[in-house]
């Protein structure tokens, strides 16, 4: 669905996007992450035809955006971070206007508007003035606008920014439903959204793509070893010595707790080595009340991927 090859964008004072290449397959939901100033929004604006590139190629649904810009725009629904609505217009009036601009046939216009209103939960507010709607409903109007011409690809830039927790949940559920019919490229600073919705993650840092994979595979690549936490009723010196003697295990931290309990943080070649630790505890006669693997979050992975050289 998307093929970006060697794309570069320079502004007078900086290089915003530096030889970026990536692909998004039809039907995928891909999260596009990056710190502020990394080139994420610039890339999305080039992808949607709002900003020209200095070099490289972008194809959407097989069409080159430089050679066939109108064909590409017909296949993209774009929801920018600050959605440019007409606050004085009513919802139905606005969607009718936008459908006409996007070339939706007059004979199909009413049915399509009703369809996207239902999809986006706007059926009851069609006669309302947009400027009088809540932030959540205005965001839904913007999403309905991006859907009204039935695009193959949805590009969503911070779709839940400024919404309350209830509205965020509603928009996430809506995006998940839309993924049944559309390819989705989702940019957000809310990492929980990516974890909840996306099948694959693209990470951009300093204008370059530094990762493109599933969350699980990114964790595996970055965190080659497993960290196991163990709480036992045992002598600290003896426990540290015994664990350290086992191949593939290394005690990082040992802390004495109340009532003789000992907490160990152990670096292991594999999470499966919890079995060996359990068998050791049984053989040594240690009471055991915790034996778990530390879970790496997407936030941990994102920070490591985007950390600049020289940072601690």
Q: What is the pLDDT of residues 83-141, one digit of tens each?
A: 889 999 999 999 999 999 999 999 999 999 999 999 888 999 999 999 999 888 898 89
SS3 label, residue 239: helix
Question: Model-level pTM?
Answer: 0.74
Which range among 82-86, 224-228, 241-245 shows the weakest confidence by mean pLDDT? 224-228
Instruction: Decide: 203 and 209 in contact? Cβ < 8 Å.
Output: yes
Q: What is the pLDDT of residue 224?
A: 55
Instruction: Tell me the pLDDT of the chain averaged across its residues.
Output: 88
Q: Domain residues of the chain, as ranges?
A: 2-220, 225-295
Q: How many CA atoms lie within 13 A of 283 on its CB side?
A: 9
pLDDT-derived band at 241, boundaries 50, 70, 90 = very high
- Structure confidence by residue, pLDDT tens digits, 127-186: 999 999 988 889 889 999 999 999 999 999 888 877 788 878 888 888 888 888 899 999
Q: What is the pLDDT of residue 221?
A: 64
Angstrom distance (rounded) from CA 192 to CA 214: 14
CATH topology for 225-295 is Alpha-Beta Plaits (3.30.70)
Q: What is the pLDDT of residue 223?
A: 56
DSSP letter at 129? B
Angstrom distance (rounded) from CA 139 to CA 187: 15
pLDDT-derived band at 296, boundaries 50, 70, 90 = low
**2-220 CATH:** 3.40.50.300
pLDDT-derived band at 312, boundaries 50, 70, 90 = very low
What percentage of residues in the chain have a pLDDT greater than 90? 59
For 158, left (φ over 0), alpha (ψ -120 to 50), or beta? left
Q: Rounded to the nearest 5 degrees, what angle is found at the Cα of 115, between the Cα atoms of 114 and 118? A: 85
pLDDT-derived band at 308, boundaries 50, 70, 90 = low
């Amino acid at each position: 669905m998307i093929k970006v090859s060697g794309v570069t964008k320079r502004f007078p004072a900086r290089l915003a996007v530096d030889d970026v290449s990536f692909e998004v397959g039809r039907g995928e939901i891909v999260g596009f992450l990056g710190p502020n100033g990394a080139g994420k929004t610039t890339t999305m604006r080039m992808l949607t035809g709002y900003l020209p590139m200095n070099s490289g190629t972008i194809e959407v649904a097989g069409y080159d955006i430089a050679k066939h810009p109108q064909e590409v725009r017909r296949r993209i629904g774009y929801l920018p971070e600050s959605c440019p609505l007409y606050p004085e217009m009513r919802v139905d009036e606005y969607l009718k206007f936008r459908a006409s601009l996007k070339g939706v046939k007059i004979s199909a216009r009413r049915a399509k508007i009703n369809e996207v209103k239902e999809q986006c939960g706007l059926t009851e507010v069609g006669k309302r003035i947009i400027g009088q709607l809540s932030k959540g409903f205005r965001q839904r109007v913007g999403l309905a606008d991006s859907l009204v011409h039935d695009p193959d690809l949805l590009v969503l830039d911070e779709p839940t920014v400024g919404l309350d927790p209830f509205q965020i949940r509603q928009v996430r559920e809506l995006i998940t439903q839309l993924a049944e019919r559309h390819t989705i490229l989702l940019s957000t600073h809310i990492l929980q959204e990516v974890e909840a919705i996306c099948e694959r993650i693209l990470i951009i840092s300093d204008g370059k793509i530094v990762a493109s994979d599933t969350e699980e595979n990114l964790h595996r690549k970055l965190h080659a070893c497993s960290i196991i936490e163990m709480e036992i009723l045992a002598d600290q010196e003896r426990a540290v010595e015994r664990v350290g003697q086992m191949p593939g295990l290394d005690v990082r931290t040992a802390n004495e707790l109340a009532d003789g309990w000992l907490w160990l943080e152990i670096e292991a070649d594999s999470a499966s080595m919890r079995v060996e630790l359990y068998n050791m505890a049984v053989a040594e006669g240690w009471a055991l009340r915790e034996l778990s693997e530390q879970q790496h979050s997407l936030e941990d992975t994102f920070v490591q991927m985007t950390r600049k050289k020289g940072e601690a």
